[in-house]
Structure 1
Amino acid sequence: MRVTLLGTGDTTGTPTVGCDCDTCTAARERGVERTRFSVHVENERVDESLLIDFSPDFRYQFLRDDVSLPDAAVITHVHFDHLDGLGNVFRVLDSLEVYAADETDPQTGKSVAETVDDDYHYLDPLTVVPTTPLEPVAICGLEVTLVPVDHPPLVCYGLRVEDPVTGAALSITGDTSYDIPEASREVLADPDLLLADGIVPADLCEYHPIGGRHEDSEGVPRTFGTKHMTREGALAMADELNADRTRLVHLAHYYPVEEAFEEPLAVDGEEYVL
């Protein structure tokens, strides 16, 4: 299982358009970037690949990293930076199955699957597959399980991708606070590689209108506001899940420049063979 991090940034990415902060300036000087979130998983045993989330930067990411077009995809939630690249399948793919959760979101009155189906009804190649969270489904020769996480006000999901032949496992927290349900943590546990949402360092919580939440025993916030984990929260989650290796993703350009490109913060184009 070959995992390529196509997009490791938050909703504006790094460098951010129109921004000349030290971190964005350093990213330009170093030739590194964090485009909007997307992960490519290739199952070399069956010569098929799975795309997790459709970044608005889809076209650029696939040209830049020269990965194979997906045979199937998973959508974790309906925020634009994870979904709006889906329109790129027009004239590019002849067919594509898109897996998305079938649970009704109280906020929208629709499931993620229904929203995708409604919003992209004009895409003939698209077949939306409603998927029940916490129940494994076979995709591209891999076992994929969607897990509910905490990203208010909309429903959102992380996922585990496991090769049933080799046992190699990738876990992705999805966009979430530290308050991931216990049943989801059990599914995500013991991965070879964990991709964890760590949008900013914990000390930046003082600048959020509602601060931080889920503090540890020393008062360090593990959640930034309500929707995302801090760096410290993501690393605590990695310890709890017993991850063999961890990369932080969905990163904002607010990281101070002296910390922004340090381990274990990911940048686009990283590749892992599990």
Structure 2
Amino acid sequence: MRVTLLGTGDTTGTPTVGCDCDTCREARERDVERSRFSVHVENERTGESLLVDASPDFRHQFLTQDVPLPTEVVITHIHFDHIDGLGNAYRVFDDLPVHAADAVDPNTEESVADTVRRKYDYLDRVTVHDVTPFEPVRICGFDVTLVPVDHPPLDCYGLAVEDPETGAKLSLSGDTSFAIPEDSRAVLADPDLLLADGIVPASLCEYHPAGGDHHDAEGVPRTFGTKHMTREGAIALGEELGADETRVVHTAHFYPVEEAFEEPLAVDGEEYVL
């Protein structure tokens, strides 16, 4: 499988519109971008492509990255920076199968699949398919398994994408705190590549109203507030899952400029062949 990171930023991306902070200025000078989150997974054996999350930057991403349009899509949760790119299906696709979890979220009283179905009912190009968490489904020739993670107050899912022919495995943490359930971790374990949400470094937890959480043995917070992992949490997750390589994604422009472009923080356009 060929994995291309189309969007590696958080909800505002980097550079952030209207921002002149040191990190945004440096990103412009380096001509580096972290647009809203999206991952392209190409099955070069079948010629199909899976898109994980439909970024609002869909058009820009597919104009600037050398990847084919997706054959099918998986949506991890209903926040706008992961779903609103589906509007690009209009006049671009004849049919776009979209897969999402069928578990009912008590906060919204509907599943992720139902929310996508309702929100895009005007687009006859979008066909929504319900997926039961922990039950692998064959999508684009890959075995894809959605697993619940921890992103309060809404349900959110990570996923494992495995090639049944080669054994290659990609795991995505989804938007999550470090408190990913053990049964979900078991599905995500031992990937060739882990894409892990790490919105800011742990040092910034002191500025969050909720502080940090899920501290390690040295007292370093692995969760920023309640919804996202810190950089340190993302790296620790990779170590605990036994990932061959971990890239930190869904990062914010709040990273200090001297840390914002250091390993293992990802930027748009990175490509991995697994």
Bin of the TM-score, shorter chain as denominator length: over 0.9
Q: Distance in 1 between matches of 2:196 and 2:126?
A: 29
**Residue aligning to 2:135:** 135
The Cα of 1:66 is off from its aligned counterpart by: 2.6
1:217 aligns to 2:244 (yes or no): no
Q: How does 1:1-274 map to 2 (within 5 A)?
A: 1-274=1-274
The Cα of 1:108 is off from its aligned counterpart by: 0.3
- For residues 89-145 of structure 1, give each alpha carbon's deviation from its aligned partner in whole angstroms, at most 9, with x where no partner exists: 100000011000000000000000000000000111111000000110000100000
Q: Distance in 1 between matches of 2:70 and 2:123?
A: 16
- Please state whether the residue corresponding to 1:248 is helix, strand or coil: strand
Q: Distance in 2 between matches of 1:4 and 1:218?
A: 35
Q: Distance in 1 between matches of 2:260 and 2:182?
A: 31
- Please state whether the residue corresponding to 2:122 is helix, strand or coil: coil
Q: What is the identity, as a one-letter code, of the residue corresponding to 2:2?
A: R
Q: Distance in 1 between matches of 2:126 and 2:12?
A: 27
With normalisation by structure 1, the TM-score equals 1.00
Unaligned runs of 5+ in 1: none
Q: Distance in 1 between matches of 2:214 and 2:85?
A: 33
**Segments ≥4 residues shifted beyond 6 Å:** none
- For residues 16-66 of structure 1, give each alpha carbon's deviation from its aligned partner in whole angstroms, at most 9, with x where no partner exists: 001010000000000001000000000000000000000000000000003
Q: Distance in 1 between matches of 2:70 and 2:216?
A: 40
Q: What is the identity, as a one-letter code, of the residue corresponding to 1:35?
A: S
Q: Distance in 2 between matches of 1:54 and 1:2?
A: 18
Unaligned runs of 5+ in 2: none
- Please state whether the residue corresponding to 1:214 is helix, strand or coil: strand
Q: Distance in 1 between matches of 2:135 and 2:261?
A: 36
Q: Distance in 2 between matches of 1:31 and 1:5?
A: 16
The Cα of 1:10 is off from its aligned counterpart by: 0.1
Q: What is the identity, as a one-letter code, of the residue corresponding to 2:71?
A: D
Q: Distance in 2 between matches of 1:165 and 1:77?
A: 29
Q: Distance in 1 between matches of 2:200 and 2:239?
A: 18
With normalisation by structure 2, the TM-score equals 1.00
Q: Distance in 1 between matches of 2:269 and 2:142?
A: 22
- C-alpha RMSD of matched pairs (Å): 0.4
